[in-house]
Structure 1
Amino acid sequence: MTKPSAVILVADGSEEIEFVTAFDVLVRAGFNVRSIAVRRADAQQNRAWVELSRGLKIIPDQDGFANSNADDIESDILIIPGGGPGAKTLSEDKVTLELLHRCRREGKWIACICAGTTALVASASSFPEQGKVKVTSHPSVKDEIVAKGWEYEEERVVVDGKVITSRGPGTALLWALTIVELICGKEKRMEVEGPMITSTVL
Structure 2
Amino acid sequence: MPKVLILVADGSEEIEFVTPYDVFTRAGFEVVSAGVELKENYAHMTRNIRIIPDFPSLLSLGQQALHEQHDILVLPGGGPGAKTFATSAPVLDLINAFRDAGKYVAAICAGTTALVAAQKKHGGEKGRVTSHPSVRAEVETKGGWEYSEERVVIDRNLITSRGPGTALLFALTIVEALAGREKRDKVALPMIVAETL
Partner of 1:31: 29
Match of 1:105 in 2: 100
Pick the aligned partner of 1:193 from 165, 188, 193. Answer: 188
Per-residue deviation, 1:131: 1.3
Cα deviation digits, residues 44-71 of structure 1 (max 9, x gap):
3xx3111111011011011112279885
User: Does the alignment pair 1:53 with 2:46?
Assistant: yes
Residues 65-74 or 117-126, more deviating: 65-74
**2:56 paired residue number:** 63
Equivalences for residues 66-77 of structure 1 within 5 A: 66=59, 72-73=65-66, 74-77=69-72
| Corresponding residue pairs, total | 193
Residue 7 of structure 2 is matched in structure 1 by 9
8 A contact 2:55–2:61 mirrored in 1? no
**Would the aligned equivalents of 2:13 and 2:78 in 1 still touch at CA under 8 Å?**
yes
TM-score by length of 2: 0.94
Q: Give the alignment's TM-score, normalised by structure 1.
A: 0.92
Say which SS state the counterpart of residue 131 (structure 1) adopts.
Answer: coil
Give the aligned partner of residue 125 of structure 1: 120
Q: Which amino acid counterpart does residue 150 of structure 2 have in structure 1?
A: E
Match of 2:136 among 122, 138, 142: 142
* Structure 2 alignment gaps of length 5 or more: none
- Counterparts of 2:72 and 2:144, CA distance in 1: 25
* Equivalent position of 2:159 in the other structure: 164
Q: CA deviation at 1:72?
A: 3.4
- Give the 4+ runs in structure 1 shifted more than 6 A: 67-70
